[in-house]
Chains A and B, each alone.
Chain A
Amino acid sequence: MSVSVKNLSKIYAQQKAVDNISFDVKKGEILGFLGPNGAGKSTTMKMLTCYLPPSSGTANVCNFDIVQQPQEVKKRIGYLPENNPLYYDMYVKEFLEFALKVHGHQSTVDSRQAIKKSIDLVGLNIEQHKKIGQLSKGYKQRVGLAQALIHNPEILILDEPTSGLDPNQLADIRSLIKELGKEKTIIFSTHIMQEVQAVCDRVIIINKGKIVANDTTDNLQNLLSNEVLIEVEFENIISEIELNTIKNIHSIEKISNTNFILHGKESTELRKDIFAFAVAKNNPLLTLKQETKSLEDIFHQLTNK
């Protein structure tokens, strides 16, 4: 196990920020941390990176305990903190060199190569000669990422790495994470469902300090979809009362007079019934589309308590 968390808790005076969570992350896995704001994602990450001590429970990173052997743990982690704190007065390369040196790399030749490599990886080439304070938010985020991976750590812990990026940059960073995930273990937190679906192998959903879901992205979608959604569009206007005559429909959502989403139990039979219905009513069917319950719906379902 690359990262192993057992019964980890963080309790502030009145509040249980993290409440007895346990999970494992295998080597080379990309884990997505999902959850509403204030759920405990950042606090968990701060404990894993030895910034905060846990109130109870243990965690092992590469078989080193976060409380007993913090220096060993920190050597093996690349961390991008939430809010991406940076030294605005330093130049990009100066900062990256500092990040490298602070991890114990002394040789100058290797440093220059490592810095160049990390700048290339995150796409900072154009901006590499500026002071950090002069960069736009997206590029500052990239500097944060560069410092996390410059010393080639086994594990990357990224707290909302894509926050504040524009769609182009988002695509770049996601493919970067996926690329890095081939060799490294990555834990990252986000609010964006498509990101999780696109990049992660596994997802953990946290709500109010507790884990409410912990499974692979595919399994999660299958498991919690206990109903199918079929989008239908007819050529002519049709009323809900008529639609209700189709068997095995739980509910109907109206989008327009001709466009509806039908919630039902089983997909194939329902679609056959809809087709037969359209034929019977002499109302050509323009759209018959099955929608799987999105991760966003699952998120709502699990966290709206």
Chain B
Amino acid sequence: MTAILKKEINLFFSSLIAYISMAVFFIVLALNLFIFQGNILDSNYATLDTFFTLSPWILIFLIPAITMRTFADEKQSGTIEFLTTKPITDFQIVMGKYLAALLLWLFTFLPTLIYFVCVKKLSLAEAPIDSGATYGSYIGLFFLGAVFVAVGIFASSITNNQIVAFLVGVFLCYFLYDAFFRISSLTIFQGQLDYFIQAIGLNAHYDSISRGVVDTRDLIYFLSVISLFLIGTRTALESRKWS
């Protein structure tokens, strides 16, 4: 499995997509935080809320773009036959690829800690940035990205066309993040099911962790969704064995 991890990381960094995605993420967010209209320097509030509200929407497109080639490319070029006839389990293949993509997400994620440092230094001593909430938000954001990575890899495993993998990934990420919230606001659900439907969505759990309290329910939720999609990926891989 480590062999696959190493190979995937090298592959990510030998193509331009990874670098461009990382740069885009960092730059777009920096622009929105500090330069564009509504930025915190104008609004005078020491908070990274804009960052945390905007990030998921960018990730919905960015992460599927990074993960779209993980399985689709192998299926199209036929190297999946090479990989699956080696003495490694399907699970090891899936985990190797997932961890590599996760590592890439980590490298994209870490530089944004600079925003926190900036705002902290800029904020007044009497009204400093809410560190607790910010730490919570960062953890939430990391797990959100981890979920999107699992979804993106799953989307890549069900097709051999990278564009389809990208589009399916985007759709699923959006659906998980926002759709449940929207569905729960339909009138038929008001008052009874709306809370539960909301709780299936990523949004609710992301907001919940962002308050600064790392609730184990939220962590379990994130880990469950990741596991679900990784198992789905492995099933997709095994489907070649069904006739």
Contacts and interface: CB of A to CB of B under 8 A. Distances in A.
A167 interface: no
Given A55-B243, A86-B79, A89-B11, A98 B85 contact: no
Nearest to A87: B79
Interface stretch (A77-85, A205-213, A242-250, A267-275): A77-85
Contacts of B87: 71-72, 74-75, 102-104
A81 B82 contact: yes
B227 interface: no
A28 interface: no
Interface stretch (A45-53, A122-130, A226-234, A251-259): A45-53
Given A52-B241, A85-B79, A87-B79, A74 B85 contact: yes
Contacts of A79: 85
B38 interface: no
A85 B73 CA distance: 11
A51 B10 contact: no
Contacts of A90: 7, 10-11
Interface string B92-123: 00000000000000000000000000000000
B15 to A, nearest CB: 7
A74 B7 CA distance: 20
B131 interface: no
B85 A51 contact: yes
Contacts of A50: 84-85
A53 B241 contact: yes
Interface centre among B2, B4, B78, B89 (most CB of A within 10 A): B78
B85 A71 contact: no
Where chain A touches its partner, the secondary structure class is loop
A104 B4 CA distance: 12
B160 to A, nearest CB: 13
B82 A74 contact: no
A262 B14 CA distance: 65
Nearest to A100: B3
B192 interface: no
A51 B78 contact: no
Contacts of A74: 85-87
Given A74-B85, A81-B78, A81-B81, A94 B240 contact: no
B220 interface: no
Contacts of B89: 71
B79 to A, nearest CB: 4
Contacts of B86: 74, 99, 102-103
Given A102-B86, A102-B88, 6 more contacts: A74-B86, A87-B7, A87-B11, A87-B79, A102-B87, A147-B82
8 contacts: A51-B84, A51-B85, A52-B241, A72-B87, A87-B7, A88-B77, A99-B86, A101-B3
